[in-house]
């Protein structure tokens, strides 16, 4: 999963809506990331590298998105991967609810 995310980021794109439903596995067990509806350039619209739009799936959003603060796409994608891996290991989300 991290290799796929690294590839995506190396191409200048951030996903911003990573969740289990958007992580697919093909018949050869290759991981595929799907649903790029909220994807954005890593550099942002103004070239600063800071994104500002509050979007994604609440329980996978990084705290800075909930706090309506500028964020980097790579860090929020990595936060969502951490949530996904936690769920894969424990069978439940790490938080009972998303709190700003």
* Dist. CA 10–CA 47, nearest whole Å: 16
Count the neighbouring beta carbons within 10 Å of the beta carbon of residue 95: 10
Helix (H) or strand (E) holding 14: strand 13-14
Distance (Å) of CA 15 to CA 53, 57, 90, 92, 96: 13, 12, 24, 23, 24
Q: 71 by DSSP, 3-state: which? A: strand
17 is catalytic: yes
Provide the annotated active-site residues. Answer: 17
């Amino acid at each position: 999963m991290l290799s796929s995310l690294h590839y995506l980021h190396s191409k200048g794109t951030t996903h911003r809506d990573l969740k289990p439903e958007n992580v697919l596995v093909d018949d050869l067990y290759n991981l595929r990331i799907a649903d790029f509806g909220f994807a954005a350039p890593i550099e942002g619209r103004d070239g600063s590298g800071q994104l500002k739009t509050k979007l994604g799936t609440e329980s996978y959003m990084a705290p800075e998105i909930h706090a309506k603060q500028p964020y980097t796409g790579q860090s929020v994608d990595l936060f969502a991967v951490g949530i996904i891996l936690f769920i894969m290991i424990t069978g439940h989300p790490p938080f009972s609810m998303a709190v700003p």
